[in-house]
Structure 1
């Protein structure tokens, strides 16, 4: 059986049309599926973004970093400076709460956040979110948060200038640290020392601390701003809650030159970012 060119070309043309239509239809279905795919969890980040330029710089960076991570890992991310939304009704729609820089000051907001955590909610806090010092603009006037939840008590001191540190992973079993090397270099940061020794708190599991190879840590100019020895936890969790605190979150700023230019970036660090993302995925989908 033979075909002439006149009869074969229309047949081929129809086959090509059918194939093209099939690919277009398949592509549309895939796009619709991607657009309607249910997110794994929802994240709401609270922040203040005032006063310290180093914290403001970090917050702006965080609000660029987390939406990208949300798109790559199928969760949603929203951020707000409206702390009045820290209430039971609003929080009920989110699986993870982030404190990017500060903490709530209103008693009702504090009470609702405590209930949220006690009822199985999840939390990740950065750097200044754990700060408390009496007397200051952030007095230690929230015992549940600073004494029980974080376990750290008040702020005691810090390094200066913001410098990088070698960090040691103390527990590879936690989902936040399972993919990290034994040690890694962190982004430049202002490192905090705390009132309480977290090693003595049975509820606290220290995940990462400053490795001794980091010393001396800090450049001064004041002598007490340079650490030469000691034990300093920088990432930990409380066994009674789905929570993770990370001391990172303070960019280096050109204060001396009076340009306020950002000299370092918290999220410009692949290994450290792995910690943040794995920790967030654990909080959003795992158990305490």
Structure 2
């Protein structure tokens, strides 16, 4: 009889230990989770559409592997306070909000400590164009780049140099690495003169000449070009990557490159995402 009681107590103890371990693991998983929502338009340039489609395949896989949730929306009316309150990080895969109330909601979200990651065309502004520079806070105060000035062509890989190795987004990167092919942007504002901007990556001079043309101004031979940066006043990360190479020349529209086919670059994006979700500046 005493043996049965002892066995029963042992079983209860083991169950308690297992339940405790399960609760601890469950709590750790809950703590590890964060929610991301990506807004996109994906209606204009085929290269941008290719990138958006690729991102919406890649991020869900990373979300499952690294314990976060990834939602998407092409309905920019969802850019409102009630909807954004459900997410720790907002991503703009391409374009930007246009309606005044959407812009106001996004600025309020960021002012209150929200986090944002923007890719490539999300920072584009050119007057006159379909995306004029008509949002001073976003392009000058927040991203800091001002307006689009020029770009390389065709999309080509570049050697990127890490400018700040102490930042959580870049601390696991080598000093230099080769990027995925991309169309690289140049801006009207000099980001080095903005005290709020921390440049994390730039194009290394060993990349020059960068671009293949055919127009001479589409090939860069010198200069300083930031490609990833953050703003000290906000939890944000702008990443200039996000333009896949498309076979326009032969009019096949075949996808010739993919942004997320680069493991080092992917590490930057994932570490940047974790930093944004951490709530730490």
Instruction: Specify if TM > 0.5.
Output: yes
Please give the alpha-carbon distance, in whole angstroms, between the structure 2 residues aligned to 1:107 and 1:270: 38
CA distance in 1, matches of 2:137, 2:222: 30
The Cα shift of 1:227 comes to 0.3
How far 1:286 moved relative to its partner? Answer: 3.8
Question: After the TM superposition, which residues 18-33 of structure 1 pair with which residues of structure 2 at under 5 Å, given as runs?
Answer: none
The aligned counterpart of 1:117 is 110
What is the CA distance between 1:73 and its match in structure 2?
A: 1.1
| Cross-structure match for 2:8 | none
| 1:236 alignment partner in structure 2 | 229
Name the counterpart of 2:182.
189
Q: What is the aligned partner in structure 2 of residue 13 from structure 1?
A: none
Q: Which segments of 5 or more consecutive residues in structure 2 lack a partner in the other structure? A: 1-13
Cα distance between partner residues in 2 of 1:86 and 1:222: 39
Supply the RMSD in Å over aligned alpha carbons: 2.1
**Match of 2:64?**
71
Pick aligned residue for 1:246 from 234, 239, 243: 239
Residue 61 (1) aligns with residue 54 (2): yes
Partner of 1:103: 96
Q: How many residue pairs end up in the alignment?
A: 265
The correspondence of residues 80-159 of structure 1 with structure 2, limited to 5 A, is 80-159=73-152
Deviations 1:125-159 (A, max 9, x none): 00000000000000000000001001100000000
Which region of structure 1 is more displaced relative to structure 2, 165-174 or 66-75?
A: 66-75
Counterpart residue number, 1:166? 159
TM superposition score normalised by structure 1: 0.88
Q: Could you tell me how far 1:258 is from its partner in structure 2?
A: 1.5
Structure whose CA Rg is larger: 1
Q: Is the 8 A contact 1:40 1:285 kept in 2?
A: no
Partner Cα separation in structure 1 for residue 276 and residue 246 of structure 2: 31
TM-score scaled by structure 2? 0.90
Q: Residue 179 and residue 36 in structure 1: after superposition, are their counterparts in 2 closer, same or farther (change >3 A)?
A: closer
Give 5+ residue unaligned stretches, structure 1. Answer: 1-21
The whole-number CA distance in structure 2 between the counterparts of 1:284 and 1:64 is 21
Alignment equivalent of 1:219, drawn from 194, 204, 212: 212
- The SS at the match of 1:234 is strand
2:174 and 2:253 map into 1 onto residues whose CA distance is 34
Supply the distance in 2 between the matched residues of 1:207 and 1:151 (Cα, whole angstroms).
Answer: 14
The whole-number CA distance in structure 1 between the counterparts of 2:46 and 2:54 is 12
Partners in 2 of 1:85 and 1:167 — Cα distance?
Answer: 35
The match for 1:284 is 277
Say if 1:161 and 1:220, in contact at 8 Å, map to a contact too: yes
SS at structure 1 position matched to 2:53: helix
